[in-house]
Structure 1
Amino acid sequence: MTALITAPPRTPLARLRWALADGWTVTRRDLTHWRNQPLQLVAGLLFSVMVLLMFGFLFGGAMFVPGGGDYREFLVPGVLALTMVFGVETTFTAISTDAARGVTDRFRSLPMAPSAVVLGRCTADLLSAVLTLAALVLAGLAMGWQWHNGVAGAFAAFALLLFLRLAMLWLGIYLGLVLRSPEAVMALQILVWPLGFLSSAFVAPATMPGWLAAVAEWNPLSATATAIRELFGNPGWGGQSWPSEHPVLLAVLWPLALTAVFCPLAIRGYRELSR
């Protein structure tokens, strides 16, 4: 029997259609996993909501916001940004699992667009991020949180959140292709938590020691959290440093820098996976 091999399209438009079609096929594979294993998706959503409720109700009474304001309105944007950063664990685990099991090599042996696996992973994880944001927004509204700068400000805030998640996607894809052992998965999970808490997600950097506050202010998570607090019209932590005075700009520059570094590395790692 002779195998039928489909020649790749030659024109740029045809190649784009080919990549989008194959990328959607890979995305549907992940959506099928959600349908067949819904508890995994639900557990992820519930964990994010649990973190928000725990800090809002258990610890919120002991927290204060520099300059005044409701701590829960300070907290919700921070948790929204935190979940975008923690999403790197989902991406890393999915990529490393597929690579370790040979699924990625199987994809590369098929007559499909070279970018389809990466594109499909990005689409699926961004859809997951949208669901997570929706669940957190509903929980925040139930807690009494709200935005005050209208629909345009809220739309810009959610765009920055997804932009941060996209940057974390490239980082997760690259790490998943390079580090494929179960020990690496555990090590990444251990490292992500300090990155998340060493930020302005839960408390103002002004409450930290000087050197630690400087690290927290320049944290990409802090940049997005501070920017969306401003866009939502929620209370912020103030300060007179450059990150505190230019949060929206920094919230754009950090994801751009991370994408510029890790997007090429992720693509190269995928191409050289079996060499």
Structure 2
Amino acid sequence: MSPTPTTATPSDVTPARTGGGRTGGLRLTALHTRAQLLETVRVPIAVIGTVVFPTLTMLFFVVPQPFADDPAQATAATAQISLFAVMSVCLFTYGVGVAEDRALPWDSYLRTLPVGAGPRLAGRLLNGLAFALVSLVPLVVVAWLLTAAALPADRLVLTAGALAVAALPMLGLGLWIGYGMSTKAALAVAQVLLLPLAFGGGLFLPPQMFPGWLDAVSTWLPTRAGRDLVVSATTGADLPGTTWPVLAAWALLTAVLAVRAYRRDEGRRFR
């Protein structure tokens, strides 16, 4: 893919290099975000997959089921699939997307600019956030039209915060894949991890339907802890005592892996 000239220009670099302050950093972040969004939408199948796959999962796994007519169960199921949508963005936009960018000469050039990694990384995070929001819109519409799911207004902010916290281990995992692996390896690993983590975490079927051994294993997965947090935020269900320790441990572990992969990649290519 050819370099995108809108990512950075000499005039954009000057404020950050000369201490132009927060305005220069914000402008660079906006430019990186815009460039990465444009790069992504130029591959329509990537956008379609991000938007359609979670909604199709909702249509297949939730809408035809009898519990779709129960407000509490339908809301919990929608919360589970919403976390699956965010998880998909983390593994593919941050994982495979970062690996693909690293293979381009343009990424190597950006790392040589005297502006630091902050604006580039912030733009990447905002790009993923935008696609996560886009993937949730049709999902919420389907749940509203075809199920009895209902989210009280006073739980909207709480649910958004729960989704953000639940996504932290997946974000770290995606960045570890992206900065630590080649494009082919990243794609394979993301695909291998997506469905087992989603199914084992209770994102497709509620954990109450699991056999005892699977429920015990599921308790220690980041997706299960994230699922329990989001369901509790949306429905008011009791939060298991293992949720916060498991989420914190996985968030810390994947953050360490992501930082080490980034530093190793930077040291290998620019020493």
Same fold (TM over 0.5): yes
Matched, 1:131 2:127: no
1:36–1:94 Cα change, 3 Å: same
Aligned residues: 258
Structure 1 unaligned residues grouped into runs of 5+ = none
Farther off after superposition, 127-136 or 259-268: 259-268
Tell me which residue corresponds to 2:143: 140
Matched, 1:151 2:146: no
Tell me which residue corresponds to 1:96: 99
* Matched letter for residue 265 of structure 1: R
Q: Distance in 1 between matches of 2:107 and 2:217?
A: 37
Q: Distance in 1 between matches of 2:176 and 2:24?
A: 23
1:194–1:159 Cα change, 3 Å: same
**Residues 71, 150 of structure 2: 8 Å contact kept:** no
1:35–1:187 Cα change, 3 Å: closer
One of 252, 266, 269 as aligned partner of 1:271: 266
Cα deviation code 1:28-66 (max 9, x no counterpart)? 1122234544453133201111111111234x24x79xx
1:34–1:175 Cα change, 3 Å: closer
1:155–1:162 Cα change, 3 Å: same
* Matched letter for residue 78 of structure 1: Q
Secondary structure of residue in 2 paired with 1:125? helix
Q: Distance in 1 between matches of 2:230 and 2:111?
A: 39
Secondary structure of residue in 2 paired with 1:189? helix
1:259 Cα deviation (Å)? 6.0
Q: Distance in 2 between matches of 1:250 and 1:151?
A: 28
Farther off after superposition, 128-137 or 222-231: 222-231
Structure 2 unaligned residues grouped into runs of 5+ = 1-9
1:170 Cα deviation (Å)? 3.1
Matched, 1:51 2:57: yes
* Matched letter for residue 252 of structure 2: A
State percent identity of aligned pairs: 21
Q: Distance in 2 between matches of 1:273 and 1:147?
A: 50
1:246 Cα deviation (Å)? 6.0
Matched, 1:190 2:188: no
Q: TM-score, normalized by length of structure 1?
A: 0.79
